[in-house]
Amino acid sequence: MFNKHPLEYFLNEFKEGQFSANLTSKQKLSLLKILRKNRPACAIGEGPLGKIRGHDIELYLDVERPYPPMLRRPPYPELLESRKEIEKHINELLDMDVIRKTIIYKEGISHTNADCLSR
């Protein structure tokens, strides 16, 4: 079945995912075996593990009065270090197709759903 080391084979199959640096090779292989065993929940057909298309979820945001506490908070600027970390996470979510760029509310600047929700 394997032409190369099993971990290398599975890592190739899971090439769009990332593992914690704290996991050993044995733990990574064990996790990949679980993902492969449960492929229908982690992939579509023989597509890459972890990148499911066509599985949409509906989110309901309550914007009626009384507003939820998170919507009552005024916008505030983030520290530069925090903003860089937030941008990193947003880019990771974009790369994994968890979120997508959806609106442009200032000409020439694209924003994500996460940007919209933070305002």
Residues 87-96 pLDDT 10s: 888 888 888 7
Annotated domain spans of the chain:
1-56, 62-119
Question: pTM (2 decimals)?
Answer: 0.35
- Round to whole Å and give the CA distance between 80 and 88: 12
pLDDT digits (tens, 9 = 90+) for 39-65: 777 776 676 666 666 666 676 666 677
pLDDT(104) > 60: no
Q: Are 23 and 44 in contact (CB under 8 A)?
A: no
More confident residue, 66 or 9: 66
Residue 1 pLDDT > 50: no
Give 6-45 pLDDT, tens digit per residue: 667 666 666 666 677 888 888 888 888 888 788 777 776 6
